[in-house]
């Protein structure tokens, strides 16, 4: 999708509704903005927000998390 936007007061840029809907951008989301090769790149890459707002597809108990954590820590302890 490609569209044109106008730079507003205080250098604001409005994200068109169709673009926001296609990318599932919601009010309050935090996006990363960077400049590369004279282009503005706007990305949804916040893993914390994704974990809080993203679609859930798996369930795991706290006991399972603790077990996995201990196994991973043991790998590094035994590595030395």
**69 is written with which tokens?**
């954590």
Any domain includes 72: yes
Any domain includes 3: no
- As a whole number of angstroms, the distance between CA 24 and CA 7 comes to 22
Q: How many domains does the chain have?
A: 1
Q: pTM here?
A: 0.49
Any domain includes 49: yes
pLDDT digits (tens, 9 = 90+) for 23-75: 888 888 888 899 999 999 888 866 666 677 667 777 888 899 999 999 999 88
Any domain includes 30: yes
- As a whole number of angstroms, the distance between CA 44 and CA 50 comes to 9
Any domain includes 1: no
Any domain includes 71: yes
Any domain includes 4: no
Domain that holds residue 17: 9-79
The position carrying tokens 């994704």 is: 50
């Amino acid at each position: 999708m490609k569209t044109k936007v106008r730079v507003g007061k205080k250098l604001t840029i409005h994200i068109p509704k169709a673009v926001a809907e296609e990318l599932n951008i919601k009010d309050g989301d935090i996006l990363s903005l960077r400049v590369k090769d004279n282009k503005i790149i706007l990305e949804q890459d916040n893993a914390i927000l994704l974990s809080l707002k993203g679609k859930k597809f798996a369930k795991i108990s706290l006991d399972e998390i603790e077990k996995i954590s201990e196994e991973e820590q043991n790998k590094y302890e035994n590595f030395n």
